Amino acid sequence: MLYTPEQILIRDTAKDFARQRIAPHAARWERDGFDRRELLSEIGKLGLMGVCVPPEWDGAGADFVSYVLATEAIAEADSGICNMVNVHNSPVCAALCEYGTREQKERYLRPLARGEIFGAFLLTEPEAGSDAGALQARAVRVGGEYIIKGTKQFITSGRTADIAMILAVTEPEAGRKGISCFITPTKNPGYVVVREEDKLGHRNCDTCQIAFEDMKVPASDMLGEPGAGYRIALANLNSGRIGVAAQAVGVARAALDSAVRYSRERHTFGKPIIDHQAIGFKLAEMATQVEAAHQLTLHAAQMKDAGLPCLKEASMAKLNASEVAERVCSEAIQVHGGYGFLNDFPVEKFYRDARVFRLYEGTSEVQKLVIGREL
């Protein structure tokens, strides 16, 4: 597709920032840590923490294709940081835009869009991942408050976030129609970070287990109507899957670029290894796969922008891009030979980071189920 001037501007803004401010430091940050909030604030000043939020709420007011292009650009530098940006944008900001009251938008959406505070999405539980209807967290109303009890697992930005978007059961007998959504500060008493997970990849984002120990949430912090939580979660499902596809494309492209650079520099038998057909063909296949995943992701994003149903397309993009990312990152290591196995070169990090794309926002197996049903 041909991009509009606005889409190009947002893509290039994200790419320039990522290359200058993130990429040179990402590997060191994994080892030594860094101030995540400071970095996210910088990203917010560029308008990338509220890409699709209307300007009236201090967002960039851009389309979803622009969001996808920005996602790819940031993921090329570090997909863990990109994941924090994505969760903040969608579902947190997206859900507030669609379901928030004016007071909630003033209190939460406006500073979120500016990148002054940060959001997390608390859906997954130790025994409830893709099956959102199996949630065990409970929210019981007592006067003007809800008391929330339960545990959430694999929460991106669980420690960093100021605002939590929480799915909890308010009417157990109503099944999925008894799940409600809350948008509330993490400083509320009872929000407890149990632990920050030690992960294979995405080490630059905090992935946490969160416990609600009689956490008190004002009734005014319910997002949407009682029982609307499952619908709110599903409404942002396509956005999340397209976002993960874009992350995967970004990482795959970074691995491809590294492999091309190395193959130009590395010489065997008197010439660069890129001139050997075995390597040249491998790179050609990798490049074709990355471009195909990119286009499939853009197609799903365009359909979303057009207001068209895109459940199948979002799942196809996510399935394809996540599988391509792992395959391309593995091949990039192969091109590097033994050096690809060392953390002196970036491809080992790309390989670690790529593995999770087949897991979150619905595993590859779940995507196949969705696509099959749509067929």
**Residue 91 structure tokens:** 């579902």
**DSSP result, 297-326:** HHHHHHHHHTT---HHHHHHHHHHHHHHHH
| Long-range contacts, 17-25 (Cβ 8 Å, 24+) | 17/42, 17/43, 17/46, 17/48, 17/74, 18/73, 18/74, 18/76, 18/77, 18/78, 19/77, 22/74, 22/77, 22/78, 22/81, 23/76, 23/77, 23/78
Q: H or E segment at 180?
A: strand 179-185
- Fill in the DSSP letter of residue 275: G
Structure tokens at 320: 């394809």
Active-site residue flag, 145:
no
Joined together, the tokens standing for residue 152 give: 């959430």
Q: Using the 8-state DSSP alphabet, how is residue 89 labeled?
A: I
Which is catalytic among the residues 197, 361, 365, 374?
361
Q: Give the residue numbers marked as catalytic.
A: 361
